[in-house]
Structure 1
Amino acid sequence: MEQIVIEVDKETAENWRSAPPESKQQISQIINIRLAKELLRGKKEALIKAMDRIAKTAKENGLTEEILQEILAEDD
């Protein structure tokens, strides 16, 4: 595991410093999972938006599902 620094309010910081090691470990695991999900969601949403823009541009330029299938079949 790696360490990062996050900002919290004073009371949370004080409670963290006095928490037992087992609690800190459990809380760290929960935060790690939650943070990973949040960061992944942002990337996922950005990817979906980019794919939607590409699909819109392709459609505006006349690409249909049939044409796409023909193009993909040519590569076989």
Structure 2
Amino acid sequence: MDAITIPVDTELAEAYRQADQQQRQKIETLLNIALKKAVNPKPLLTIMQEASQQAIANGMTPEILESILADE
């Protein structure tokens, strides 16, 4: 995975900096999905399946994802 820099509102940047690792992981996962949808004409289901496979390859388990999403 590559890192990029994207300008965001000051409040968002500060909230991200203060977030714990689990919250950051949730934000990064959601941003990856949103950016893939924005730059790729693939159907959303295909993008979500690819994101799921990538998350699993990076150690994400269904239990961890459920825990992250439950923290909303």
In 2, Cα distance between equivalents of 1:13 and 1:19? 10
Scaled by the length of structure 2, the TM-score of the pair is 0.54
Shift of 1:2: 1.2
Percent identity between the two aligned chains: 40
CA RMSD of aligned residues (A): 1.5
- Amino acid of the structure 2 residue aligned with 1:14: E
Larger Rg: 1
- Greater helix share, structure number: 1
Structure 1 moving runs of 4+ over 3 Å: none
Gaps of 5+ in 1: 44-76
- Higher normalized contact order (CA 8 Å, seq sep 6+, divided by chain length): 2
Shift of 1:16: 0.6
Secondary structure of the equivalent of 1:15?
helix
How many residues in Structure 1 have an aligned counterpart in Structure 2?
42
Gaps of 5+ in 2: 43-72
1:6 is aligned to 6
